[in-house]
Chain A
């Protein structure tokens, strides 16, 4: 079966523009995370979705960041008015069920470059 996919794989944008990053989870995986990976900074938790429950947005760094998950499947991370410090790799991970001690399945990431 297919793994987690993300698109685009690379995105170059100009400062001030809006971008949308997409994550297609493994079929049947109800939990979905977004992370940001900056050089030398490890993975930073951004947002968590579990089924139809309200998402945990506690990791979003500013109100320019938002995410949604339609029908419990595809998720979109939107960054408005991008800044250079938003440049990073954005990773999506999913897992079946709600138990965080299960392994997460990661997508390949979207590399965002803000000029």
Chain B
């Protein structure tokens, strides 16, 4: 099955330190990948996506992610975390060969402490 995995339920990082939220994806087909963020009691907000082209994609709020085909990963990164980055992060996978449904990971809770 085409899927995406987020191996960490929670990531803790001190403010000002770099952060990484991990995501791996199933390699079959022609995948494209997203990161979404969910703040408490709110819907998901788009951060960034990889469709094709440059493997390093930059998104909102200073986040970036690198599409790594050999490692089948699409980790979300930020050089310097802010307390306000604390939220739930979802990686999602789509496939241009199999329509419109996205498969979402289970989410990773990011906690940035002052």
Contact = CB atoms under 8 A, between A and B. Distances in A.
B99 interface: yes
Nearest to A40: B106
Interface stretch (A13-21, A61-69, A71-79, A101-109): A101-109
Contact of B43 (A42, A45, A109): A109
A106 B94 contact: no
A43 interface: yes
Contacts of A93: 43-44
Contacts of A50: 100
A42 B101 contact: no
B94 A100 contact: yes
A52 B45 CA distance: 27
Contacts of A103: 34, 46, 49
B99 A100 contact: yes
Contacts of A98: 100
A50 B101 CA distance: 12
- How extensive is the interface on chain B, given as a class? 20 to 34
A91 interface: yes
A33 B104 CA distance: 13
A104 to B, nearest CB: 7
Interface of B: 9, 32, 34, 36, 41-46, 49, 51, 90, 92, 94, 96, 99-107
25 contacts: A4-B43, A40-B9, A40-B106, A41-B106, A42-B90, A43-B92, A43-B104, A45-B101, A48-B101, A50-B100, A56-B101, A59-B101, A100-B94, A100-B99, A101-B94, A103-B46, A103-B49, A105-B46, A106-B36, A106-B43, A106-B44, A107-B43, A108-B42, A108-B43, A109-B42
